[in-house]
Amino acid sequence: MIKKFSLIASAILSMVVAVSAQTQPCGTDEHHRHLLKTYPIIADYEQQFNEQLGRGLAAKTTGSDLDTTYFDVPIIVHIVHDYGAENLSDNEIYDAAANWALAFVKKNSDTAAVIEPFKKYIGDARMRLHLATIDPDGNPTKGVIRHHSYLTNSGDDRAKFESWPNNRYINIWFVNAITRGAAAYAYYPSGGAGIPHYDGVISLASYIDRSKTIPHELGHVLNLQHVWGNNNNAAVACGDDQVHDTPPTKGHTPGCVLSTIYDTTCATGYARTYLSASGLVDSLVDYPDTTNAQNIMDYSYCSNMFSAGQCVRMREALTSSVAGRNNLITEANLAATGALAPTPDLPPVAEFTLNKAIGAGTITDARSYFLTFNSIGEFSFRNASWNDTISSVLWQFSNGAAQPVSTNTGTVTNRFSVPGWVTTTLTATSNAGSNTIVNTRSVYAADTTVAGGLGYSQKFSSIGDIPNWPMMNYYNNRFQWEFYNGAGMGDNSCIRYRSFDSTNKRTGIASGDYDDIYTPAFNLAGVSGDVFVNFYTSGALVSGSSSTSRDSLQVDVSTNGGAIWTKIAGYRGTDLANNGAQSGNFIHGASSSWKSRSVSVPAVYRNSQTFFRLRFRPGNIGNNLYLDNFGISNLPAQLEEMTVNGTNTFSIFPNPSSAGSTLVFNSVNGGIAKYSIRDVAGRVVYEEEAEVFSNSINRIFIPRSEVPVAGLYFVTLTTGSMNTTEKMLVY
Ligand SMILES: [Zn+2]
């Protein structure tokens, strides 16, 4: 029977906006709506596409429509990973890709489970998916590339590293987690035309071969809507996908049960009338009165079939110029991408990562890059080479280390007798050849020679000052600690964290990164009384940014050679960004100000080799942070300054506190000091007097037992020369 399809409606469906907080199988329509708002031109592409689609379908009604050609489509798989489970093995990817392909040639065996009414509507898209064997530069590839990034944990468009041209390859990225809670999403051709570098599919790695998630998303790439229409709200309202042989439906939430498979809601009495080719005789097609819950474009996860009508629509997408989809299948492109060639046998790509230190007990960090050579832990290096089956590896280490024998097991441990940056060389070998990676800053074996103790001062006056201050750029990107020559406190240099993140970047945003700078060892053994780590920072927000900066700085301490770190202070928000909003890349200048930081070091963290670590986490969108004049003192920074100037000042340490606080102050006049603590309601909870000495540092300890209820308090100190109130937080 020759059917005359009525022209597929070209209008964009009215877009139902409803954002669900729940995890959705697919976030395609939510992203599409967002895109339409950001790039209105996409609506034009959409219209252009639908006009082409209409013309194509109309043309089909005039012939016998016995199109038996096959379309071949090159694809490229990107793994965005941080060496976790999302770093899928080559074979997991190849096996999954072979399974995706089946649904597009009607070879998936589970079509046998399709219920009777739909058996005759199972479509064969006659599309063959191929992992590319030639990359955009003309080099051989096995169709899989890997990108090491923290953005695997917040997968969205900006995690789509190194998109290959979307008119030559369909890009598919895998990540560990997707923001907005979806398992995957893709862009329709109209979206792909508007933002070619984001075109393609992004999916959870855990969904690589689950419930036909990737065939579903590729369906969107080829202009298929969900069976209930283009929104993400399954099981809400009757809708249609502009495909005739998929009856109207509300769609279904995940859970493939009989009541879903045989659901008739919205589909009862569904039929269509078509004009015959002569235009004189009508023909009635009585489509199933059951919804097509087993359709791959439903959320039911029954996912057994595309319909014949969907296959027509997908094939039309591949002959449309919108987003250059029609270029994918050309002979020239298939030759250029090597899509029809067998997968080449290529040498491995040598790569390694670090595990937690071995034998170090509890470690909060996932990986250990910094240990002293007398640490209780050992560095643990893990082979992560890929691109071929690895037959052997050869490790080589500098810094007086033992050279391990060749191993296939993946992990070697080592320690180093010469302090400093360690060069690690890994050669991975397969039947097709070898590849070597040399990393001259793989890990840092810290010197245990102490740099000082109480009274230590570091002004970062020249880069030669800080050979024992290793800066770790774990993700090897532009967001990092560095020595900075151009501004400083009292001189012209300091260190800074480059956090500035331009708002118009396509991929690789700062948020999610973290980087460390480590101090040398300090001898604080037996030091009694207060010990403070003092330093100064100068930070800023990015002006015009709609969101508050989420940059943060944390101070950690270790007394066992870097095996275990404990946080002792943290700063963020407008406190860290003490210079307010700055346009663009913040450079500390004459009008910028420094803010003093004083971190109390509890006695339990003082030993003969005490290390500190400054960890910066850039936010999106953050700005640079300058840091200078690092010292260790029995006075907090501002008191040190004020003492020198002979000025009244008053501070509370630690604050916040859970075990009592000390009021530390410099009073110009001696005599009696009165101090009182009031709660937020103004009630006095504690009041006392003490004798103080003039022009000297006075300390008054307030035990926690005097302030038994956690909360915010106001501490007022009155001496002969000052009357000052400070906030104190007790937890
Ligand atoms: Zn979807």
Q: Where is pLDDT greater, at 695 or 211?
A: 211
Distance, CA 296 to ligand 1 centroid (Å)? 9
Token readout for 141 is 């590839």
Q: Does residue 609 surpass a pLDDT of 90?
A: yes
Distance, CA 188 to ligand 1 centroid (Å)? 10
Cα 344 to Cα 140: distance, rounded to the nearest angstrom: 7
On whether the CB atoms of residues 327 and 369 are closer than 8 A, the answer is no
Distance, CA 186 to ligand 1 centroid (Å)? 8
pLDDT tier, 362 (very low <50, low <70, confident <90, very high otherwise): low
Distance, CA 250 to ligand 1 centroid (Å)? 14
Q: What is the 3-state secondary structure (H, E, C) of 252-300?
A: CCCCCCHHHHCCCCCCCCCEEEEECCCCCCEEEEECCCCCCCCECCCCC
**Would strands 170-175 and 71-81 be described as parallel, antiparallel, or unpaired?**
parallel
Comparing CA positions, the residue from 34, 38, 37, 27 lying closest to residue 155 is 27
Distance, CA 689 to ligand 1 centroid (Å)? 70
Distance, CA 218 to ligand 1 centroid (Å)? 9
Distance, CA 272 to ligand 1 centroid (Å)? 26
Distance, CA 4 to ligand 1 centroid (Å)? 28
Percent of the chain scored above 90 by pLDDT? 65
Taking residues 589-600, report their average pLDDT. Answer: 93
pLDDT tier, 11 (very low <50, low <70, confident <90, very high otherwise): very low
The H-or-E segment that residue 445 falls in is strand 433-446
Distance, CA 259 to ligand 1 centroid (Å)? 22
pLDDT at 253: 93
Distance, CA 65 to ligand 1 centroid (Å)? 29
pLDDT tier, 187 (very low <50, low <70, confident <90, very high otherwise): very high
Distance, CA 27 to ligand 1 centroid (Å)? 6
Distance, CA 509 to ligand 1 centroid (Å)? 26
pLDDT tier, 111 (very low <50, low <70, confident <90, very high otherwise): very high
Q: Does residue 13 surpass a pLDDT of 50?
A: no
pLDDT at 696: 67
Cα 609 to Cα 524: distance, rounded to the nearest angstrom: 7
pLDDT at 203: 97
pLDDT tier, 62 (very low <50, low <70, confident <90, very high otherwise): very low
pLDDT at 547: 59
Distance, CA 29 to ligand 1 centroid (Å)? 7
pLDDT tier, 163 (very low <50, low <70, confident <90, very high otherwise): very high
Q: Does residue 12 surpass a pLDDT of 60?
A: no
Distance, CA 683 to ligand 1 centroid (Å)? 59
CA distance to 156, 530, 698, per residue, from 694 (Å): 61, 20, 9
Poorest-confidence range of 233-242, 418-427, 558-567, 650-659?
650-659
pLDDT in tens, 261-274: 999 999 999 988 87
Domain 354-446 has CATH 1.10.1740: no
pLDDT at 545: 66
CA distance to 141, 155, 410, per residue, from 159 (Å): 21, 5, 28
pLDDT at 701: 85
pLDDT in tens, 509-556: 898 999 999 999 999 999 998 899 999 999 998 887 655 678 999 999
Percent of the chain scored above 70 by pLDDT? 90
Distance, CA 216 to ligand 1 centroid (Å)? 6
What are 518's strand-pairing partners?
613
Q: In the block, which residue shows the tokens 């967001």?
A: 479
Distance, CA 294 to ligand 1 centroid (Å)? 14
pLDDT at 240: 93
The ranges of the chain annotated as CATH 2.60.120.200 are: 448-634
Distance, CA 712 to ligand 1 centroid (Å)? 49
Distance, CA 299 to ligand 1 centroid (Å)? 8
Distance, CA 33 to ligand 1 centroid (Å)? 13
Q: In the block, which residue shows the tokens 């037996």?
A: 526
Distance, CA 256 to ligand 1 centroid (Å)? 17
Largest separation between any pair of C-alpha atoms in the chain: 111
Distance, CA 510 to ligand 1 centroid (Å)? 29
Distance, CA 270 to ligand 1 centroid (Å)? 24
Average pLDDT over all residues of the chain: 88
Token readout for 41 is 């031109």
Cα 667 to Cα 388: distance, rounded to the nearest angstrom: 72
pLDDT at 410: 86
Q: Where is pLDDT greater, at 362 or 601?
A: 601
Distance, CA 249 to ligand 1 centroid (Å)? 15
Distance, CA 40 to ligand 1 centroid (Å)? 22
Task: Give one word for 465, left, alpha or beta, with left for phi > 0 and alpha for psi -120 to 50.
Answer: alpha
Distance, CA 217 to ligand 1 centroid (Å)? 6
pLDDT at 391: 92
Token readout for 63 is 């012939």
pLDDT at 277: 64
Taking residues 46-62, report their average pLDDT. Answer: 63
pLDDT in tens, 314-356: 999 999 999 999 999 999 999 999 999 999 999 999 999 999 8
Distance, CA 182 to ligand 1 centroid (Å)? 10
What are 86's strand-pairing partners?
none
Peptide bond connecting 654 to the previous residue in cis, omega within 30 degrees of 0: yes
Q: Does residue 205 surpass a pLDDT of 50?
A: yes
Distance, CA 31 to ligand 1 centroid (Å)? 11
The ranges of the chain annotated as CATH 3.40.390.10 are: 28-222+307-337
Distance, CA 521 to ligand 1 centroid (Å)? 55
Poorest-confidence range of 97-106, 140-149, 380-389, 684-693?
684-693
On whether the CB atoms of residues 495 and 460 are closer than 8 A, the answer is yes
Cα 55 to Cα 57: distance, rounded to the nearest angstrom: 6
Taking residues 129-142, report their average pLDDT. Answer: 98
pLDDT at 661: 85
Q: Does residue 5 surpass a pLDDT of 50?
A: no
- Assigned fold of 644-730: Immunoglobulin-like (2.60.40)
Let me know the angle formed at the C-alpha of 38 by 618 and 506, rounded to the nearest 5 degrees. 40
Distance, CA 47 to ligand 1 centroid (Å)? 20
Comparing CA positions, the residue from 259, 362, 378 lying closest to residue 370 is 378
pLDDT tier, 623 (very low <50, low <70, confident <90, very high otherwise): very high
pLDDT at 656: 80
- Assigned fold of 448-634: Jelly Rolls (2.60.120)
pLDDT at 57: 57
Distance, CA 185 to ligand 1 centroid (Å)? 6
Distance, CA 210 to ligand 1 centroid (Å)? 14
**Would strands 352-358 and 271-275 be described as parallel, antiparallel, or unpaired?**
unpaired
pLDDT in tens, 645-673: 556 667 787 778 888 888 877 766 777 88
Distance, CA 224 to ligand 1 centroid (Å)? 9
Eight-class DSSP state of 235: T
Q: Does residue 631 surpass a pLDDT of 80?
A: yes
Taking residues 567-596, report their average pLDDT. Answer: 92
Neighbours of 366 (CB within 10 A): 12
Cα 480 to Cα 5: distance, rounded to the nearest angstrom: 59
Distance, CA 141 to ligand 1 centroid (Å)? 29
Q: Three-class SS of residue 207?
A: helix
Superfamily of domain 28-222+307-337: Collagenase (Catalytic Domain) (3.40.390.10)
Q: In 352-410, at which residue ranges do the beta strands (DSSP E only) sit?
A: 352-358, 370-372, 378-383, 392-397
Poorest-confidence range of 25-29, 176-180, 666-670?
666-670
pLDDT at 56: 57
The ranges of the chain annotated as CATH 2.60.40.1930 are: 644-730
Distance, CA 492 to ligand 1 centroid (Å)? 56
Q: Does residue 154 surpass a pLDDT of 50?
A: yes
pLDDT tier, 462 (very low <50, low <70, confident <90, very high otherwise): very high
96 alpha carbon, distance to own chain's centre: 24
On whether the CB atoms of residues 82 and 148 are closer than 8 A, the answer is yes
Distance, CA 213 to ligand 1 centroid (Å)? 8
Distance, CA 26 to ligand 1 centroid (Å)? 4
pLDDT at 61: 43
pLDDT at 517: 98
pLDDT at 169: 98
Cα 598 to Cα 642: distance, rounded to the nearest angstrom: 14
Distance, CA 187 to ligand 1 centroid (Å)? 10
On whether the CB atoms of residues 515 and 480 are closer than 8 A, the answer is yes
pLDDT at 60: 52
Q: Where is pLDDT greater, at 655 or 562?
A: 562
Distance, CA 117 to ligand 1 centroid (Å)? 24
Poorest-confidence range of 30-34, 220-224, 236-240, 470-474?
30-34
Distance, CA 214 to ligand 1 centroid (Å)? 10
On whether the CB atoms of residues 124 and 105 are closer than 8 A, the answer is yes
Distance, CA 584 to ligand 1 centroid (Å)? 38
pLDDT in tens, 253-312: 999 999 999 999 999 999 888 776 666 677 788 899 999 999 999 999 999 999 999 999
Distance, CA 28 to ligand 1 centroid (Å)? 5
Distance, CA 229 to ligand 1 centroid (Å)? 10
pLDDT at 512: 92
Poorest-confidence range of 185-194, 386-395, 688-697?
688-697
